[in-house]
């Protein structure tokens, strides 16, 4: 029966490997979109991209596409081995030799995914100007509700009031920052001169300073904690995994 514990360890390893690859697959999908001409937020290094066989001006994000594809392979390995044992009785059966095939392939694939993902992200170029140009005041709609909540309004009500502000902006054909204060006060008397601070994207980011928030201090803390966590698992304590 002790053999069953060993099989559980194989499953646990394959599950976590599949979960890691799924997270990296989602990151890869984001960066594939952001590297397209339609977005242009990032550019892959030539070392992690290839040219098109047809269009000479095109750069294909092969590294991220392969990560995305291999994540499916790893999930398939996990589900495949689950199907092997679902009808087996207790103790060892010869069917269980299949765990070697699935586990070794999963381990090898995960190592490759991690190496490619790390290299592709490390050499990625970010076009901050393109990111700035893509910002729209509509993204600040939730901040309107948050502004009202901080002044004592229930979120359910504030959510509706924010919708009214969005509708007013559409009716007048102007962005939030150009809405007349007298029009806003008709929606809620809680709108005052300080509402102008809402139409600032840096302010929007910095106001969320809780653990896991978007404020710079919070993000830096998360990065520091992640590095400390990774370094605590280094095989060689004197060598840092990340710096």
Q: Which two tokens stand for residue 181?
A: 């204060």
The fraction of the chain above a pLDDT of 90, given in percent, is: 71
Is the alpha carbon torsion for 27, 32, 33, 39 positive or negative? positive
CB 141, CB 159: distance < 8 Å: no
Short-list 211, 215, 204, CA closest to 226: 211
Whole-number pLDDT of residue 50: 86
Residue with the larger pLDDT of the pair 128 and 93 = 128
Is the alpha carbon torsion for 137, 142, 145, 147 positive or negative? negative
Whole-number pLDDT of residue 5: 55
In this prediction, residues 121-133 reach a mean pLDDT of 95
CA distance linking residue 79 with residue 148, whole number of Å: 48
Parse the chain into domains and list their residue ranges. 2-133, 137-206
CA distance linking residue 228 with residue 95, whole number of Å: 41
- Which residues, including other chains, have CB under 8 Å from residue 96's CB and lie 6 or more apart? 3, 7, 84, 85, 88
Query: Helices 141-150 and 155-172 meet at what angle, rounded to 10?
Result: 140
The predicted-structure confidence for 219-241, as pLDDT tens digits, reads as follows: 999 999 999 988 887 654 544 44
Residue with the larger pLDDT of the pair 93 and 220 = 220
The predicted-structure confidence for 176-209, as pLDDT tens digits, reads as follows: 999 999 999 999 999 999 999 999 999 999 999 9
The single residue listed with the structure tokens 């509700």 is: 145
Q: DSSP code of 210?
A: S
- Which residues, including other chains, have CB under 8 Å from residue 76's CB and lie 6 or more apart? none
pLDDT at residue 4 greater than cutoff 70: no
Of 82-86, 130-134, 137-141, least confident by mean pLDDT is: 82-86
The rounded mean pLDDT for the chain is 89
CA distance linking residue 120 with residue 30, whole number of Å: 13
pLDDT at residue 242 greater than cutoff 80: no
pLDDT at residue 1 greater than cutoff 70: no
Domain 137-206 has CATH 1.10.40.30: yes
In this prediction, residues 5-10 reach a mean pLDDT of 75
CB 218, CB 211: distance < 8 Å: yes
pTM (2 decimals)?
Answer: 0.80
pLDDT at residue 10 greater than cutoff 90: no
pLDDT at residue 48 greater than cutoff 90: yes
Of 82-91, 152-161, 232-241, least confident by mean pLDDT is: 232-241
Looking at domain 2-133, its CATH class is mainly alpha
Q: Do domains 2-133 and 137-206 have the same CATH topology?
A: no
Whole-number pLDDT of residue 239: 47
């Amino acid at each position: 029966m002790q053999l069953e514990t060993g099989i559980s360890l194989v499953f646990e390893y394959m599950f976590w490997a599949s979960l890691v690859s799924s997270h990296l697959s989602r990151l890869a999908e984001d960066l594939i979109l952001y590297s397209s001409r339609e977005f242009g937020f990032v550019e892959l290094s030539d070392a992690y991209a290839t040219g098109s066989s047809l269009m000479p001006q095109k750069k294909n994000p092969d590294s991220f596409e392969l990560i995305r594809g291999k994540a499916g392979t790893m999930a398939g390995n996990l589900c495949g081995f689950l199907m092997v044992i679902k009808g087996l009785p207790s103790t060892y059966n010869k069917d269980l030799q299949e765990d070697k095939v699935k586990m070794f392939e999963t381990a090898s694939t995960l190592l490759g995914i991690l190496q490619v993902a790390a290299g592709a992200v490390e050499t990625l170029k970010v076009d901050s100007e393109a990111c700035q140009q893509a910002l729209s005041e509509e993204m600040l709609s939730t901040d309107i509700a948050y502004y009202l909540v901080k002044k004592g309004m229930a979120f359910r009500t504030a959510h509706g009031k924010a919708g009214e502000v969005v509708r007013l902006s559409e009716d007048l054909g102007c962005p939030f920052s150009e809405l007349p204060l007298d029009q806003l006060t008709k929606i809620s008397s809680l709108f005052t001169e300080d509402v102008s601070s809402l139409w600032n994207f840096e302010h929007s980011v910095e106001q969320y300073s809780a653990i896991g928030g978007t404020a710079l201090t919070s993000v830096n803390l998360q990065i520091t904690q992640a590095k400390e966590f990774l370094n605590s698992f280094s095989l060689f304590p004197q060598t840092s995994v990340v710096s």
